[in-house]
Structure 1
Amino acid sequence: MNLKKWLYLLWTSLVVGAVGSLLAGLLLQWTHTIQLNGTADFLMNILILLGVGIMVSIYSQMGFFAYLMMNYMGSGVFSRMTWRYVQIALTVLALMELMFLRVFVGEGKSGISDVMLGIIVLIIALVTAYFKAKWTNASAWIPTLFFMIAVTIVEMIGVLNIGVNQATIWIGAPLLACNAYQILILHRVLKPSSR
């Protein structure tokens, strides 16, 4: 990874985050979850959505590079098979924590939204892992699932603590889009350039 490749990953992730936030925000606005008064509010909302998407993409990139370092260290400390089992265990624990543990620890909150969010994260992770394995090799399944589920859930802890479904959609959509984009594009970015 050189600076040119990293800058490419940076600005394309910024675009993905901005578009993801814009689409999620406009969907919330279309469903009348957010009330706007006039054209000025609508345009200011667009700017806010784009700005939040850019900030979320930066946050996603920090998580992605943290994952890459953790994956490098984990594969250095554990054997290849043991590291896969550790990733599977952490992925299952993160998904169960999101879907069920928060219901038991929460103060009378309904767990339907957490279960639905867990199912959505799982489906997006499975689709992303399928394409990553198809475009690279079959050994990409477990690391991709680990990143898309465990790391994404850790990145979403702040918005999950708020407990507002609209905020979760607004932050979760660009976060999932950025994470999926980064893991899917990594092998292309790292491919040696032909000179």
Structure 2
Amino acid sequence: MTIRNWVKFFFNALLIGGGITAIVGLIVRWEFFSQYVASGEYIEFIGAFLWMIFLGFTMSVVAQMGFFAYLTVHQFGVNMFRSLTLWNWVQLLIIAVVLFDLIFFRFQLTSENTGRTVLYLVLLFTLLATSIVTAYYKAKWTKKHALISALFFMIVITTLEWLPALMVRSGNIDSWVTILLFPLLAVNAYQLLMLPKYNRKSDEDKAKLEERREARKLAKAK
């Protein structure tokens, strides 16, 4: 990928992360924001809203680091197992382990708190549904064997990026766990689906640059 296209890729992902976090944060933490509106403290409201956007930018950067780390891990896995089929089975096993850990250890669901249980089941459904849809389109738009790898990235890598929030046990953590999931999913889905487009655009740009160089050489030769 050329530097120019990488910059576009980076800033588009940044805007997605910031925008999604701001919208979800406004909805989930409306009780917090509404007190500024009710008291006419609009400067404070704008400041809190901008902070949400900045938080989204941060999560976008985390997601992008996770994406490029996964590209390395994926290539390492294919080389180590010397078979894409075997590597896919390993990825499916890791997905199962991560989901088990997520449900039974990270969520810490109890029958005593029905509201919290429903919230985390909805978040789990959101993670799985978004991952499946993204993986489906990734396989449809590129190659069928990309389905398992896309699922692995969307479920396992997103969960690892989400893990710091899940490990906190104090304060209004359920709200932040909810808010932080959505920018990670949105940015990861964007990266997975749009990377081939930027790679193709980079190849086209390189070809055009080479054509201009050849044209200049011919002009000088004349």
TM-score under structure 2 length normalisation: 0.79
CA contact (8 A) 1:128 1:144 kept: yes
Correspondence 1:84-123 to 2 at 5 A: 84-102=88-106, 111-123=117-129
- 1:153 matched residue in structure 2: 159
Tell me by how many angstroms 1:55 deviates: 0.7
The structure with the largest alpha-carbon Rg is: 2
Q: Displacement of 1:104 after TM fit?
A: 6.1
Structure 2 residue 196 is matched with structure 1 residue 187? yes
Please list, as runs of the form range in 1=range in 2, the aligned pairs for 1:6-21 lying within 5 A after superposition.
6-21=6-21
Show the 5 A alignment for 1:18-57.
18-30=18-30, 32=31, 34-37=33-36, 38-57=41-60
C-alpha distance in structure 2 between counterparts of 1:104 and 1:16, whole Å: 30
Return the offset for 1:139. Answer: 1.5
For 1:98 and 1:33, how far apart are their aligned partners in 2? 29
Whole-Å Cα distance in 2 between the matches of residues 15 and 103 of structure 1? 29
Amino acid at match of 1:83: W
The alignment's C-alpha RMSD in Å is 2.1
* Alpha-carbon offset, residue 115 of structure 1: 3.1
Deviation at 1:85, TM superposition (A): 0.5
Per-residue CA deviations over 1:59-116 (Å, capped at 9, x if unaligned) read 111100110100011111111111000111111111121122335699x986544333
Of residues 78, 99, 102, the one that matches 1:75 is 78
> Is the 1:14–1:54 contact (alpha carbons within 8 Å) kept by the matching residues of 2?
yes
Cα deviation, 1:164-185, whole Å, max 9, x if unaligned, reads 2110122111111111111010
Alignment of 1:167-186 (within 5 A): 167-186=176-195
Against the structure 1 CA distance between its residues 86 and 160, is the aligned structure 2 distance closer, same or farther, given a 3 Å change threshold?
A: same
Q: Distance in 2 between matches of 1:76 and 1:3?
A: 28
Separation in 2 of the partners of 1:111 and 1:15?
31
CA contact (8 A) 1:98 1:114 kept: no
Most deviating of 94-103 and 37-46: 94-103
SS in 1 for 2:145: helix
After TM superposition, the score normalised by the length of structure 1 is 0.90
> Does residue 59 in structure 1 map to residue 62 in structure 2?
yes
**Structure 1 gaps, min length 5:** none
Aligned partners of 1:28 and 1:34 also within 8 Å: no
- Aligned residue for 1:138, secondary structure, equals coil
